Amino acid sequence: MSIRERNRAEFDLPTVFSILIYTHPETGFPLAICDGSYHTVMRTGASAAVSVKWLARKDSKVLAIVGAGNMAEGALQTCDTVFDWEDVRAWSRSQATLEDFRRSMEPVIGGRYPLRTSTDLASVVDGADVVVTITPARGPIVKDEWIAEGTHIAAVGADKGGDQELEATILQRARIFVDDVRQCRTDGEINVPLAEGLISEEDLAGEIGQVVAGHMPGRTSDAEITVFDSTGIALQDSATVPLEYERAVTAGVGIEKKMIST
């Protein structure tokens, strides 16, 4: 994977590029080489959606997406499969980015609910049942005062040391879950509050896989604030690429090349 933060502003290109090579699990024979950029968009969004399924209140109706780039498109498409939303909001500093997001997403949602976009972050987040943050922010942009009891936050933007999207006081109020504690402690949403001593690893409830597997409870009350800190892990790629390959073969799409002579 390659991350180039200047791409969108300077070259009108996506920020994240990746190439995936899928090999047979037993023989190591290469089965597919595919563009991983769209895959990254969707599996990143899916990680947020999994947390929404397992940690958000079951009566959640209002979704706020903080950030409106390519990754936000994956977040909306995957979270759209979890609940029947009545109100979806998206924020970006750039009106042009919001317009692109609306053009891309309105055909997907098909008018099933309003899609409201704004450059006013407070109005997007305040009152939301679920908040997905998916920006490269280097300092807290989501304020504690906007987060009500019962909110679930999927913080999937922070993926390197120094990144932070949430005020640390939100984490101090919340039950915190991570995808992989080893990565999150240095690269995830918790990395700055941990380094500053505002929270400790003892404050973490655990990894979300434990919740999905039934080894620990997720949300314990409708009043609880839950936060999922996701940095993205290779297991997500390992689980989804075989499915993509199988569907491509079934659909007869792609270009097949003979790699070796027999």
Q: What is the DSSP string of 75-116?
A: HHHHHTTTS--SEEEEE-S-HHHHHHHHHHHHHHHTTSS-EE
Determine the Cα–Cα distance for residues 156 and 236; give it in Å rounded to an integer. 14
Phi, psi of 147 (to 5 degrees): -100, 115
User: Are the CB atoms for 137 and 163 separated by under 8 Å?
Assistant: yes
Q: Would you write out the chain's pLDDT as a tens digit for each of its 262 residues?
A: 667 778 877 887 777 677 888 898 889 998 988 888 888 888 899 999 999 999 999 999 999 999 999 899 999 999 999 999 999 999 999 999 999 999 999 999 999 999 999 999 999 999 999 999 999 999 999 999 999 999 999 999 998 999 999 999 999 999 999 999 999 999 999 999 999 999 999 999 999 999 999 999 999 999 999 999 999 887 787 788 888 889 999 999 888 887 666 5
Tokens in use for 243?
């499915």
CATH architecture of 44-233: 3-Layer(aba) Sandwich (3.40)
Rounded to 10°, the helix 37-55/234-251 angle is 110
Nearby residues of 107 by Cβ (< 8 Å), 6 or more positions away: none
For 81-137, what is each residue's pLDDT tens digit? Answer: 999 999 999 999 999 999 999 999 999 999 999 999 999 999 999 999 999 999 999
Sketch the domain layout of the chain as residue ranges: 44-233
Would you state the pLDDT for residue 262?
58
Whole-model pTM: value is: 0.88
What is the distance in angstroms between the CA of the first residue and the CA of the last residue of the chain?
33
Determine the Cα–Cα distance for residues 102 and 23; give it in Å rounded to an integer. 37
Tokens in use for 81?
């499969």
